[in-house]
Chains A and B, each alone.
Chain A
Amino acid sequence: MSFAELHCISNFSFLRGASHPEELVQQAIKEGYRGIAITDECSVAGVVKAWNEIQKHRLKHFKLIIGSEFQSNGHCFVVLCQNRKGYGELCRLITGCRRRAEKGQYIFKPEDLLELQHCLLLWHPKPDTPSQIPDELTALIKHFSQRLWLLLEQHLVEQDFAQLCLVESLSQKLKLPIVASNYAHMHHPDRKMLHDAVTAIRLNSPVSQIASHLKPNAEHHLRSLQKLKALHKPEHLSESLNIIDQCSFELSELHYQYPEESVPQGFTAKSYLRKVTYEGAHTRYPDAIPDSVKALIEKELRIIDELNYEYYFLTIYDIVKYARSIGILCQGRGSAANSVVCYCLRITEVDPTKASLLFERFISKRRNEPPDIDVDFENARREEVIQYIYERYGRDRCAIAATVITYRAKSAVRDLGKALGVDLMQLENVIANYGWRYRGKDWIDEVITPQISQNNHTLSCMRTLLPQLLGFPRHLSQHVGGFVISQGPLIELVPIENAAMENRTVIQWDKEDLESLQLMKVDVLALGMLTAIRKTLEYISERKGYDFTMADIPKDGDDKVYGMLQKADTVGLFQVESRAQMNMLPRLRPEKYYDLVVQVAIVRPGPIHGDMVHPYLKGKNEGKKQEVPLKELTPILARTFGVPIFQEQVIAIAMVGADFTADEAEDLRRSMASWKKQGHMNQLRTKLTERLLGKGVNQDYIDRLCRQIEGFGEYGFPESHAASFALLAYISAWLKYYYPAAFLCGLLNSQPMGFYRPWQLVQDAQRHGVIVMPVDINHSHWDHQLQPHQNSPEEGALRLGFRSVKGLSQHSANTLTYNRPEQGYQTMNEVMNLPGISREDLEALASANAFQGLGKHRYQQRWEASAHHFYNQLFMNLEPPSQPLSAPNRLDEIIEEHSSTGVILNDHPMAYLREHSILEDCVSAEDLYHIAPEKEIYVAGVVINRQRPGTSAGVTFVTLEDETGSINVIVWLQTALNQMKDLVKARLLKVYGKVDKDAGGEVIHVVAYKLFDLTHQLMRLESRSRDFH
């Protein structure tokens, strides 16, 4: 006798099911079932995971049925798809129910089922179903003639007998067959505890208070055939096999559904791709296409043809072409993006011939991986691209992919704590104080301590449940930019549901599911730096009088630009502006493009956890190449001095060194995030270790490699992405070096973005000789602008725009500039009388000192602005009383300027304090260069950022800024712990410490011994540091 489970919910019926779809499949196979239907509640979100699991087992006789359950007024209906059409109908049904309701909910009426022509229906009647069947059910019974079964589910509970009687009597009366089911909520009875806990989380009450909502026992699992035989009649069990035999649909029927719009009439996809590639190649290489490039193009086109990826490349080309046509800057990245074809199609600017060191740029034929191209667009204009995609392919054929939000350590501890009724304040205390980023393997034992609860039993329950809950899906959210585009209506491919954002919808599958089914996926991402670069190029074009584009920037390597990078003079640059990057730049000393590619990728958890940084630096700076453990790995590691830096290299080591098959390698790539977890990844890890050991690679090297893989899991960074990022980093550096004013203007007009606040960007630019002028009612516009200046004839000076005035609306600023008389406003009254200018606008302008040109200080201007409407409109006959206010002093000016515009132009709080003898013993940033290493000194400054990179355990980087520059302070863990209060709270910090310099004397740090909080000296200065803990 055999059996197939036809009513089974996974944890994608969020907080109802207590097992992963994969676990359900594994258990069903183990118990000897012939098949399983994953029938999550109004959802097919978990089916791809189950399907993947079956693919892994390569079982021919085990069947996965796609279905879904719907609850209505005590009845439960299970819909199973018979074929592709039935699957389309189910997707339509789910979409209909989901779209009617709020996010995460659904509204179902039994009549909805009448639309289904190619589906089977299982009906679990509610306990008190009357013998006189209601009309809507009669209609269903008629519609599903020969396709309807009664579900009989026996769980050793009191209601079993009544249910048996009911089902049997209905069966007799309506002539319907009966099929038995477990109605599984979990794969194994051991999950009962977790099932109770997720129920408590769903109901937002402690588990002890919701007993009536819990299942009385653990019988809702995939029971053994022996047990089922004892509970059910054989004909009820064998009916399940009859049903699965009627279902032939397989998810693999869905793949390769590419939209055809991207190919014009008269062309095939192949011929059109060839045509546009060669057209592009001629533009890229106007003199002649080099033979090597031609050969590469041909090779790539051949692989694209073999894998049938033409539509994919053409669709990306179509989107990118549109973006360029309306002036939106974009840049592709990813393994396929760095191909010659993509370079010719202008999807990327990375010239593969010039970056010839790049390894295996293209899709590998051996690996069954889908092409991967992410395209970054200017963040400010990405929405235009999204709207284009909707228009071009139709809203019914494209949608944003989902992201499955799963339980991670913190959320799992929090929700489980609530479910077990522990004190929430204490729980939050523990959560707030645990160093999550540095957690080790035993983190559960470290977190679950008596601090959370005095009850040992509760703690032990938490310890048991936590590992089980981790990784459980919690809800669906919207992916940042992953689009799925289909050939037919999307609604028949995957159900669509409402997202939290109004008018936004998401599909029920995430990116990995789409990849598994090889569906068309395009990543449309947003990048602030592209906006800044585009704006900078515009300003340069205005100055030059011709269109200056990214292509005009010489990419051959400019020593001056690299010189700037080597000095870590990188405030405002893309990717290389963080403290950790600045720390690395003078050590890595990038001299060419590929060094930048490494630079971008090396300050990441992967290489750092794997201790790969120092060997690389040794290799690069001292020519000491790391010995490659196996001869065959030499081509993989040669260009990084024998040290694996990139994710691709690690995978290649697994393939070449440890003989991983294409599937295993693909598995490794996907599973890097879960490397720490037990189970499946453990097998891969063991396999990697054993095979490398077998080939004579030493254990230490393998351990480091494994740690590196672990690090990639936290933040994977492949070479193919680094290549594109490095190009943008170089372009931003070039612009900053040659056009500092335009670059500053571009950055400021693209805020908020990047690592630094406008004040810090302005200070840095001023130190590079850029002239910055204040906001002025008669000279400013909404955006910051470059204006002619006698001291800077080439670039001009930057005039701060009204956008920096806090509290001023863009609409009001536009009114001001639109109505500005040619000779400018002469009195405040002229501004006050403009239509639509509110009191708040006037006050904001007055405080920002925008009326400075009209006389009077800012306090007085604000006083007058504050009652303008009162005396000029409401009570015109009243004369405003004269109220002379005292003028602001220097400190007041500093504070007001900062609080009103976020920028202090010609002064600095530290200069003020120094002149008032408060910082007498402190060395300025400028003078640090002249201090001998190892000397112990005082420094002081405004705290610009505090950073605790996840990569260097225990160290906090603090950047201070005084009137002469910035000072890098390193606070070691013990000092930080001793002086946590000063470290965390100070906005103005004085540090006593030791000067630390590199050999060239260019990288200077102060290693802190003692911190002094000077915030009280400038109580009102509202400076906020960028803190990354």
Chain B
Amino acid sequence: MQWFYMHFPHLYGETWHSPFEREHPVILAREQDNCVADANDSARAKGIERNMLVNTAFCLVPEMDIHIMLPHKEIQALKRVARFAYRFSGWVGLDEPDGLYLEVASMRRFFGGLPQLKAGIEELFRELGYDFHIAAAPTPKAARILARSGIELCADKQRFRQALKQMPVDCLELPAPILIRLQKLGMRSVQDVANLPPGDLSYRVDKELATNLAQALGQSDWKPEPFHLPESFRLKIDVEQEFESLNPLLFPMASAVKRFCRFMQNRCLVSQQLILRLIHRTHPATTFSIHLATADNRVDSWVYMLSMQIDRVVLPAPVTGFELKASDFEDIPPTSFVLFQDSANTHEDKKAYLLNRLAARVGADQIHFIGLSDDYRPERQTLFSSQPLPPEALPDNLTAQSPLWLLQVPLQINIRRYQVIRGPLRMNSGWWDSVTASRDYYIAATSGQNPAALHWLFKTPPSQWFLHGIFA
């Protein structure tokens, strides 16, 4: 067996804040301890180091940019490079947060030898703009120690042993108390540590260190958990003749969509988007996406949506085949399982069904959910949102005296035409977003109209009167 290890020291920054290496200093901060997790060259040149307090970093470089590292994005970044690494190895292992193990012995012949394989990896990742260290060794942990120490070496067992002599114990990236224990025994290089009897090392210094070293030296066996590529769906159908309209193709497309739904159902997944690619003989392919308002895996939802979408497509050229593609899947949301059919669930199903149909008709971006905010300003009490608001978010300070019909823009009026019935209710709110509302609200009846209408008026401090709503 032969393993590569790739260490990406600035993986997060290079993935999410590209280009990371620029002239302006940038740091990534961990929120939990307010420390620097990584810094670009420019920031490091000015004295910023990893694990330094963000406040200290600010003292040194006040003009720097700061980004918070989000844990879920860390693993996403690692998975992204793992996908690329998959091109070179059938066994890729993740070493969170910024390392990859690659089993390469089985791929050596395919790529024409280890040097070629290594060169191929290096070329790809350099092109992608990643900074990395790569090392090869007979065991994954040995490759890890080399790469993380910055020693880019293709080592066999013997060369690995020799390399350990050059490595100070700090290279092991140990927690501070264990590093201190080693230093207090006079251990300078990793080889000094490796020379200690493993049992004694385990008892006297640290069990995990002893295990890791044994695994690196091949004294005990260890392989990383293999990484699996995420699910994706792709289905290409060639039709026997050229079609100038899509209606005749609806049947084969529907059965392809059924296969897509079965694919999801078998894996307990749902999706919100499916890409349909129509292939023409000479013309470039026409691509459009079928988008549901809520994620689903039921055949009727998808087929209905498909038929609605197809109606609107204008073909630039006859179709000779089509392809379905999907890669964004979610797990089925948890539902309550009760013995008897839960009416709430049925209701939710029906709602999703209706929403999807509406989305198909008018477009998903035209659908808004209505919510209520607890702002005192009446014009801000109704919210539109692309996601449904949870029922508990409903505020409890809604005014009952306001009319349902609210004018979009209050209308200046002459108060003499009104007879005030009740009021005032005073409002003084909203200073924080610069739209301060200082108003006295009144209910007034129109005079001179028969029957009189009830209007909702307000007066502003300079004694200007406005009509804001009309009662039924």
Contacts and interface: CB of A to CB of B under 8 A. Distances in A.
A792 interface: no
Q: How large is the interface on B (under 10, 10 to 19, 20 to 34, 35 or more residues)?
A: 35 or more
Contact of B397 (A208, A212, A843): A212
Nearest to B376: A216
A494 B196 CA distance: 68
A980 B46 CA distance: 9
B184 A211 contact: no
A219 B440 CA distance: 12
A428 B428 contact: no
A156 B426 contact: yes
Interface stretch (B151-159, B292-300, B340-348, B431-439): B431-439
Contacts of A214: 376, 429
A428 B55 contact: yes
Given A157-B425, A214-B429, A216-B376, A896 B434 contact: no
B60 A984 contact: yes
A708 to B, nearest CB: 31
Contact of A425 (B54, B60, B180): B54
Nearest to A189: B428
A101 interface: no
Contacts of A206: 432
Contacts of A866: 185, 203-205
B29 A425 contact: yes
A193 B68 CA distance: 31
A433 B59 contact: yes
Contacts of B431: 192-193, 196, 461
Contacts of B434: 457
Q: Pick the most buried of A214, A461, A859, A984: most chain B CB atoms within 10 A of its CB.
A: A214
B60 to A, nearest CB: 6
Contacts of A420: 432
B408 interface: no
Contact of A896 (B184, B205, B399): B184
A958 to B, nearest CB: 16
A980 B59 contact: yes
Interface in A787-803: none
Interface in A174-212: 189, 192-193, 196, 206-208, 211-212
Q: Pick the most buried of B203, B204, B399: most chain A CB atoms within 10 A of its CB.
A: B204
Contacts of A457: 433-434
A156 B180 CA distance: 69
Interface in B192-210: 196-197, 200, 203-205
Interface in B372-399: 373-376, 395-397, 399
A883 B47 contact: no
Given A881-B200, A883-B200, A1020 B374 contact: no
Contacts of B396: 212
Interface in B418-460: 424-429, 431-434, 440
A843 B184 contact: yes
Interface in A873-890: 881, 883, 885-888
B66 interface: yes
Given A158-B400, A425-B54, A859-B184, A981 B46 contact: yes
Contact of A984 (B56, B375, B424): B56
Interface residues of A, number: 52
B184 A862 contact: yes
A888 B183 CA distance: 11
Contact of B426 (A196, A216, A870): A216
Contacts of A458: 432
Contacts of A217: 426-429
Interface string A957-990: 0000000000000000000000011001100000
A859 B47 CA distance: 34
A208 B432 contact: yes
Interface string B166-197: 00000000000000100111100000000011
Given A866-B204, A883-B200, A156 B425 contact: yes
A863 interface: yes
B184 A847 contact: yes
A867 B59 contact: no
B47 A985 contact: yes
B364 to A, nearest CB: 28
Nearest to A888: B186
A244 B467 CA distance: 45
A907 interface: no
A921 interface: no
Given A158-B400, A217-B426, A885-B186, A211 B58 contact: no
Interface in B320-374: 373-374
Contact of B200 (A216, A867, A896): A867
Interface string B48-70: 00000011101110100010100
A219 B54 CA distance: 44
A999 interface: no
Contacts of A867: 200, 203-204
A458 B47 CA distance: 33
A985 B48 CA distance: 10
Contacts of B62: 429, 433
B383 to A, nearest CB: 12
Contact of A212 (B203, B374, B400): B374
A980 B373 CA distance: 49
B390 to A, nearest CB: 15
B200 A461 contact: no
Contacts of A984: 47, 56, 59-60
Nearest to A464: B431
A636 B394 CA distance: 71
A681 interface: no
A218 interface: yes
B401 interface: yes
A813 to B, nearest CB: 19
B324 to A, nearest CB: 43
A432 interface: yes
Interface of B: 29, 34, 46-47, 54-56, 58-60, 62, 66, 68, 180, 183-186, 196-197, 200, 203-205, 373-376, 395-397, 399-401, 424-429, 431-434, 440
Q: Sort A-B residue pairs by CB-CB distance and give the 4 closest, nearest first.
A: A981-B47, A212-B374, A156-B426, A859-B186
Given A156-B425, A192-B428, A211-B373, 8 more contacts: A158-B401, A211-B375, A211-B429, A212-B374, A212-B396, A218-B428, A433-B59, A862-B184
13 contacts: A156-B426, A158-B401, A196-B431, A214-B376, A216-B376, A217-B426, A217-B427, A420-B432, A425-B54, A461-B431, A867-B204, A886-B186, A899-B184
